[in-house]
Amino acid sequence: MFEIQLNEQQKNASLHKDGPAIVLAVAGAGKTTTLCTRIANLIINYNVNPKKIKTMTFSRAAARDMKERFIKLFGGQIPNIHDVEFSTIHSFAYSVIRYYYRQKDLPLIIIEDEKEETNKYRILKDIFKETNKEYITEEQLEELLANITYIKNMMLKPKEIEELKNSIKNFSLIFEAYEKIKRENHYIDYDDMLTVAYHILLKEPQLLRGLQNKYDYWQVDEFQDTSRIQYEILKLLVKPNNNLFCVGDDDQTLYSWRGSYPKILLEFPKEFRGAQVYFMEENFRSTQDIINLSNRVISLNKQRYKKNIFTKKDKGLPVFIEEFNNEKTQIETIIQEIKAKSPSNEVAILFRNNFSALPFIDSFHEMNIPFYVREHKMSFFKHWIVKDIIAFIKFTYRPCSLELFNNIYYKLNAYLSKQSIGYVAQQLKEMDAKERENINIFDLLLTYPALKEYQKNRIIRLKYEFDVFKKENTSNFMEFIRRRLSYDEYLKNQDLTSEEVVNNTMGVLEHLARNVTTGLQFIDKVEALRLFTEKASHNKIKTIVLSTIHAAKGLEFDDVYIIDVIEDVLPSASSLNLLQKNQDVSELEEERRIFYVALTRARSQLKICTVKKRFNNSVEESMFIKEVKKFLNITSPKTRPIPKSQKHKVNPRELDISIYKKGTYLTHKFFGKGYISMVNQGIATVDFKSFGVKKIDIKTCMEYKLLS
């Protein structure tokens, strides 16, 4: 048809002209090429005005990439090529809202930007505090936002909202209050773009008819991720001709938790009578071994269209299962393997959740290996458990700080009342600045008149423990905080988060603490790691990519490592619980789809990695590993030994720290060049040009270089 090589299935789909159609395209089937070719076919062969074709997808990057691809393919053949519209469905909905509000002379305030004084995060935090009389944690805020997204996308009714399973106390009241504030102030958030646009189209038939007449052909990419509200909007827009052309893969539906509704794709032919169903089953990306395994894995799902994914590529390298003793061995081996690869190889390390990424990021940081973090959303550094550990350490060195003490006292099993804390605050107010700097909060508490004997004994004990902590400068500070300061006991009694999240968060913290000898070093390390991760999210060198499987959908790489394929991670604990309690396979099938997406990212080499121990806890083999073993006829893969380090590690205690003096310069491998303004008991205060003043433990100076 054009100068583009299409197989028979691609050609059939791209030649579709009128009426509804759905294209079921397997991973790597060239769906973008097919969509672009269909647009060109409508314009060149049927003289359709380019302005009459609207293509929508679900991310700005995808819309931009598709437009660039279309122009690259057909720029010389279509005169008005820039008239073809590519957008996200959210941006389309926003254009409807903006037009309507302007016509009605209504104020329109978007509350998505955290930098603005009025934003949805601050509003929800305030509502939560007012409703529950406590501050919301980052984890709770994430769950609250996810629930709101789900409600809007699934168009839930009040009764369904009340029955929605979640761990947010008084969720319905918070949701109602949030909706009321938005209505009264004409605020709109990201999720409202769809619901508000939908209701405008329902009550403004003239506006709807205008849009129906504006476009003759509608195309939707990534149709498997369509939510109920998005589908309802599309059904309104495509009437009366129903020229709706949708491309998707039910085997890659990953977002049911935020409203993706896979039944839409399965029931499309029932909704649109006479709809054409096209299959695109040839994978142009991966080798035969990878495709054969992927096909067998996904065929275990029942709620899907039956497809037969195939490739004409060579057999290629065999798929490996790599079993490691622990995450440390996994990291060291994978890094050694990556170093041995060609620098031009595109390598991806894919994982189910960010807890798996942080130990890798830590090792890349230590070894100064450049990498790219895709769609960086590392909320770990904001997690309340991480903040608690840092507050414990800081208070050890600043026992005069009431602000720090307020963050931790009720987590110490100290039996202290708010009245006693108020008493301390009053005493501090009456002191001058010098006195306040030299006071110990525990000493002030011991002067509180209404103190009971058991409270007094506990305060004395805690003061002793913190003194020991500081004097010993313990290398095992995590153990100290968890056991001797009773933090584990506090965590056990909290309903703020799941046991799984607690174990993972503490496990990552323990891992990060393994190579530091003091609490202050740990604080420096966590901050440096946070900045390093942020920097990696903007890195233009993308030969090594760290990504969640969700964020990697639509991408491809030469070599792929899927890490931490263990029970309760991949598949998730919640999917296994749902299966066990209710015999409900829906979540488990989504987990298998996630695994399938990970498998099909690899062009040449695929390694599925599992561990026997994770964060010092024994873990069970994933059911997906068992399935793969069966398909590959593997009885028991050999456990990889811990590789010998090729680098002699210097003991920081052997370093001569006397060379680091006031008035000299040093270079930190992350913060850059800095001027030492003060050194006190091994702690250097350094003014870094790009990052401001930092306090650094000189015992970690094997990481630094002194400038002459």
State the binding site. Answer: 25-32
Q: How many CA atoms lie within 13 A of 309 on its CB side?
A: 30
685 and 693 in contact (C-beta within 8 Å)? yes
Structural tokens at position 523: 């604080």
Structural tokens at position 62: 């995808």
Strand partners, 707: 665
- Length of the chain, please? 708
Nearest Cα to Cα of residue 397 among 437, 435, 429: 437
DSSP assignment of 246-289 equals: EEE-GGG---GGGTB-HHHHHTHHHHSTT-EEEEE-B-SSS-HH
DSSP state of 219: E
DSSP assignment of 300-318 equals: T-SSS-----B--S---SP
Cα–Cα distances in angstroms (integers) from residue 480 to residues 227, 307, 389, 396, 445, in the given order: 48, 56, 11, 12, 23
Nearest Cα to Cα of residue 571 among 585, 581, 553, 552: 585
Nearest Cα to Cα of residue 112 among 137, 139, 91, 128: 91
- CA gap 312, 300 in Å, rounded: 23
Three-state secondary structure readout of 323-391: EECCHHHHHHHHHHHHHHCCCCCCEEEEECCCCCHHHHHHHHHHHCCCCEECCCCCHHHHCHHHHHHHH
Q: How many CB atoms lie within 10 A of CB 133?
A: 7
Crossing angle of the two packed helices 519-536 and 357-367, in degrees rounded to 10: 100
- CA gap 287, 309 in Å, rounded: 12
* Torsion, CA 422, CA 424, CA 429, CA 432, rounded to 10: -170
611 and 619 in contact (C-beta within 8 Å)? yes
Positions at the binding site for ATP: 25-32
- CA gap 73, 37 in Å, rounded: 8
- CA gap 265, 222 in Å, rounded: 10
Three-class SS state of 495: coil
Structural tokens at position 207: 């506006």
Q: How many CB atoms lie within 10 A of CB 263?
A: 13
Query: What are residue 71's phi and psi, to 5 degrees?
Result: -65, -40
**DSSP count for the chain of H helices, then E strands:** 30, 22
Q: What is the CA radius of gyration of the chain?
A: 29
